[in-house]
Structure formats: structure tokens, C-alpha cells
Amino acid sequence: MEKILTEEEQSRISGLIDNARKVVICAHVSPDGDAVGSTLALKHWLTRKGKQVTVVVPNIFPDFLQWMPGAKDIKVYLKHEETVEPIVAEADLFIITDLNDSARMQELEACVMANPAPKIMIDHHLNPTDFCQLVISRPDMCASAEVICHLLYQLGELEQITRDEATCIYAAMMCDTGAFTFNSNRAVVFECISHLLNRGIDKDKIYRNVFWTYSIARMRLTGYLLYVKMENLPELHASIITLTNQERKMLGIKNGDTEGIVNMPLQISGMRLSVFLSEDTEHDGVVKVSLRSVDDFPCNDMSAQFFNGGGHKNASGGKLYCSMEEAIEKVREAIKSYAHLLK
């Protein structure tokens, strides 16, 4: 296991937590498995330490993560502003996890930043911005949950965590690595997993809960998108899949049913890049962009240059403020621009 804090940082985070009574833990907009798992792991840990803890996320998260211990207690800001705002205003400590910039909280950002209480960032994304008093950022790690695992180890807490805490950490790491199929070659990742297994987690059940709980609508959606909506560009080793809100309604798609779709074209022999475009269900005129790649193709560079986004080399995301037709043309432009790295 790794020590990720200096002695001064370790003393500082311990002091901030010891002095806090009401803690609010926040994550990024459209929370994924790492965001949900990391926030819940921290919630369980700090609750055991006698803190009053609330997890607040900007908007809804996928249904397939609802099984996680404590997920039903997460407050969704866009659904319950009147309930969430007083909780945020009364917090005397914030822990911001799985995001590197306050803007990634979107509508929740102003509410959180209006409170001058200390803020701690725990993250693994590149280029963290300076909006927290203590920044614990490790872009070399596979997930924010892995950062938390090393943090707990350094604080002498890892062997005391509960099964629920270990379950949340493992699920978060598993989600951000595609069940440990990418960004997980460091031996210490599996050292973390061994510690979590020792806390009694059922890793096989966690996998089934995340990846083998599809609805009939999800199964039909998969066939529809791959057969009807996937545009294959074999000469560029890339593919584009699109989904409109009209199609969501037609197929009865629920939140989370599209999770993992972007990875599927990468199973095609020779494919290096997959792009999934989906209309935002909460904002008109916004198209969400998900990118996945293999080997050394830099999704994060493409996302930053063309899609107002960023992320990791093999897994990134962004947004376009235009119609779906315009978004498709933008993606084609981006792919052609990176043709020298795709061929």
C-alpha cells in the first residue's frame, strides 16, 4: 500500500475531520460508479466516527447503483433543492470526491461554494483546480476509491472498515476500470482488493449487481443501438453510436440503461475508438459525449479539444451544445483530425 500524504497533510486532514460535526460529501454531475461508491464509503466511515454526514449529488445517478449500501440516503440536488440547500449551508466541512473542478458540480456548485467551510478534494483526475483547502489528487490511481483506500491505510483505518465500506470501495474501483480490464495494471490495485476481500465483501455478487442486472428494455436497446444506430468507420478504426430522447421514450429506457454501451464497439477486431452520443435528458440542446479507446489513443486530448471535456486516456467525456446532427458532424471532424493516431 502507498502513503499518499505528507506528515503535514496527514495532520491537517485528521484535524479537519476531528473538528467537524456536520460533513457534506459531494460528487460530480451524472454520478458514475466511482462517484457513488467513493462518497458512500466516506459517508459510512465518517458516520462511524460520530459525524453527521450527508451525501449530495447534483442530479440522478444510474438505477444499477441503487443497491449500494446507503445509496437510498443520497440527496439529489435537482430534485430537492429546498431540502438540500439548508444542509449544505450548515456544513462545517466538505469532502469533494471524484471531481477536479467545482464546475463539474454544475447547479450544485454555487450552493457549495457559497459556504466558506473548509473543503477537501479526493480525486484521481488530471489538472485539479484550486478551490479546496486540501487537495489529495493522484491521477496515477485507477479510481478515486483507490485514493480513499490508500488514505484509510495511511490513517490506520483500513483494517477497521466495515463490509459496507469495503463493498462501496470495491464497486467504485471495479466500475472505473471496467471490472479491472483497463487502467488497472499496477500491482498495488490488487493489494487494495486483497484488503477489501479480507473485510468480507462478495466481489462476485458486486459484479452481478453492476453488470448482470439488465432490464428487458436494456437488452433490446443494446440490439437496437448496435444493429441500427452504430456507424462503423473501419478505415479509421472508430465507431459512433447515437441515442436521442425520442428513442429513449420509444424503447422505455430508464436511467442507467445506457451504461457500458460505449465499450461494446471496442470488441470489434482492430477498433481503437468508440464514441457514444446521447441527448441530455435534463437539458434541451445538449448532447453528452462518451469516449472509450484502447492502447495509447488519447481520449482525454480529443475530449478537451473538441467536446468541452476531459478525463482519462482511455475513458473520457464531454458535452456539445447543439443538435444531434451537428454533434455527429463534430465527432466525424474530431476523428478525422486524429486519423494519424487511429490508423
Q: What share of the chain is helix, strand, coil (3-state, %, to 5)?
A: 45, 15, 35
Using a 10 angstrom Cβ sphere, with 0-12 exposed, 13-18 middle and 19 or more buried, the burial of residue 200 is: exposed
Q: Sketch the domain layout of the chain as residue ranges.
A: 7-211, 216-342
Output the pLDDT for position 247: 96
Output the pLDDT for position 306: 98
Output the pLDDT for position 184: 93
The domain defined by 7-211 folds into: inorganic pyrophosphatase (n-terminal core) (3.90.1640)
Angstrom distance (rounded) from CA 218 to CA 312: 26
User: Side by side, which strands form the sheet with 287-293?
Assistant: 231-233, 238-243, 273-279, 287-293, 315-320, 310-311
Angstrom distance (rounded) from CA 156 to CA 284: 48
Q: Do the domains 216-342 and 7-211 match in fold?
A: no
Output the pLDDT for position 106: 92
Block residue for cell numbers 429506457:
253
Output the pLDDT for position 254: 81
User: What global pTM score does this model have?
Assistant: 0.89
Other CB atoms within 10 Å distance of the CB of residue 71? 16
- CATH code for residues 216-342: 3.10.310.30
Cα-based distances in Å from 255 to 162, 259, 283:
29, 9, 15
* R_g of the chain, CA atoms, integer Å: 20
CB 286 within 8 A of CB 245: no
How would you write the pLDDT of the chain (343 residues) with one tens digit per residue? 999 999 999 999 999 999 999 999 999 998 999 999 999 999 999 999 999 999 999 999 988 999 999 999 999 999 899 999 999 999 999 999 999 999 999 999 999 999 999 999 999 998 999 999 999 999 999 999 999 999 999 999 999 999 999 999 999 999 999 899 888 999 999 999 999 999 999 999 999 999 888 889 999 999 999 999 999 999 999 999 999 999 999 999 887 789 889 999 999 999 999 999 999 987 889 999 999 999 999 999 999 999 999 888 999 999 999 999 999 999 999 999 999 999 8
